[in-house]
Amino acid sequence: MDLERVDRITAGAVGEPGERTFYLQARTGTDLVTLMLEKQQVELLSASILDILSRVGKETGEGPSEEELELEEPLEPAWRVGRLSIGYEEERDRMVLELEELVPEDEEEGEEEDVEQEGVVPDLPEPDRIRMWATREQMLALSRHGAVVAAAGRPRCEFCGNPIDPEGHICPAMNGHRGPARR
């Protein structure tokens, strides 16, 4: 599926820190696409957008306001994002975000068992894919908003980078010792 020119694109989260669900939304006309992703994917996407924009070296104008970047209802994700990539196409002067569905591991394992049992290779389901084309201004706004959304959660451990719950966490970088609690 291709969304050639999105009218809006945003990321957001719903829920309490530590239990939030992250979403990416894009709208083209009356079509609203909502996908689920992980906090780390939002962080990576935000950083990657800034990296590409700095390499492209083109000034960006004003993007959408913060109110325009809020998630829209209904929050009914089509699927969970497994892979994502981002690029810039100079001819169109657009950034493109390519997303691929996460195929659950249990489906893959079940299919491998079928191969062993029957000796026949089953047709593996193709993950859904979507490409979204957006302006540099829209993507810069997505980057800034996504960074704010991701940072609004639990603080990260300075040693291992994992999120810290209010009661602390077991830090693998400290050889399993409990890190300090954050309040």
pLDDT digits (tens, 9 = 90+) for 62-97: 778 888 899 999 999 999 999 999 999 999 999 999
pTM for this entry: 0.77
CA angle 165, 146, 77 (to 5 degrees): 85
Looking at residue 35, its amino acid is L
What is the token pair recorded at 161?
């980078």
pLDDT of residue 32: 95
